[in-house]
Amino acid sequence: MKENVIERNTFFGDPELDADLPKVNEVFWSSLIGHIEQDLRVPPRVILDIGCHTGGLLQRLNQRFSPAEMFGVEPLAVARLEASRRFEGVVPRIWLLDPSEWDRIPSGAVDLVTSHETLYLEANVRDFMKRVRRALSPTGSAYLVLGCHSDNPLWETWKAQMRADGHCVYDHFPFEIMKDASYEGLLPSVQPLRSSGWITYDPLHAKFLNRTEQAPR
């Protein structure tokens, strides 16, 4: 198994799957933005997205909230490059950082932290929460979306595929995640991302799982 720090050109090992991420995740990003809209009284001035890939969610957040400054943390250099192209001339201040550059995010500067489906790639949740806590402003909020966790019955299957693709992935337990957040001075709250709506999924044509299986013709 390769470490996540080893340089990859794509997250999924298949450029098509990486390119599909914004389409696949659109419904989840929209729900997330809906929750943020409901919660925040003042639009966030500074936004940080952890695991920003090519900046799709940051783009949606920028369109909705027009922040003064945005940060993205992403280990894939090719994804950061694509994100920087996406934002060229579009946003006044954007910083796309490797995880080794977390220290470049000023302490207490960030009003809104988002992280969509990234925590399962983090070995140390407590350390992750420490970094989030340091970055957050005193009135800031963090929204961490997690489908990949120990309580999801699909996780065992997804996990096997991720490992086959060379990722280091971790079993994080929701209760422990919340405990680690609390240890680091955050107030953990939880709710389902979506409370209605269909998930459209056709196992015969799914690209992520069973890649070697051919759909019948």
Ligand X SMILES: C[S@@+](CC[C@H](N)C(=O)[O-])C[C@H]1O[C@@H](n2cnc3c(N)ncnc32)[C@H](O)[C@@H]1O
The footprint of ligand X (CB under 6 A) covers 4, 11, 21, 25, 50-51, 53, 56-57, 73-76, 79, 99, 116-118, 121-122
Please identify, using beta-carbon distances, which residue of 50 and 96 lies nearer to ligand X. Answer: 50
Per-residue b or e along 145-163, where b marks 16 or more CB atoms closer than 10 Å to that residue's CB: bbebbbeeeebeebbeebe
Q: How far is the CB of 201 from ligand X (least distance, A)?
A: 16
Tokens representing 48? Answer: 């940080």
Q: How far is the CB of 57 from ligand X (least distance, A)?
A: 5
Q: How far is the CB of 216 from ligand X (least distance, A)?
A: 29
Please identify, using beta-carbon distances, which residue of 117 and 176 lies nearer to ligand X. Answer: 117
- Three-state SS sequence of 102-127: HHHCCCCCEEEEEEECCHHHCCCHHH
> Ramachandran region of residue 71, left (φ > 0), alpha (ψ -120 to 50) or beta?
beta
Long-range contacts of residues 119-122, Cβ cutoff 8 Å, at least 24 apart: 119/144, 119/146, 119/148, 119/149, 119/172, 119/177, 120/146, 120/148, 120/149, 120/169, 120/170, 120/172, 121/4, 121/51, 121/167, 121/168, 121/169, 121/170, 122/170, 122/172
Q: How far is the CB of 141 from ligand X (least distance, A)?
A: 17
Whose CA is closest to 35, among 190, 197, 200, 175? 190
Which residues make Cβ contacts (< 8 Å) with residue 107, sequence separation at least 6? Answer: 134, 135
Q: How far is the CB of 72 from ligand X (least distance, A)?
A: 9
Please identify, using beta-carbon distances, which residue of 99 and 188 lies nearer to ligand X. Answer: 99
Please identify, using beta-carbon distances, which residue of 10 and 137 lies nearer to ligand X. Answer: 10
Q: How far is the CB of 113 from ligand X (least distance, A)?
A: 12
Please identify, using beta-carbon distances, which residue of 33 and 41 lies nearer to ligand X. Answer: 33
Please identify, using beta-carbon distances, which residue of 51 and 140 lies nearer to ligand X. Answer: 51
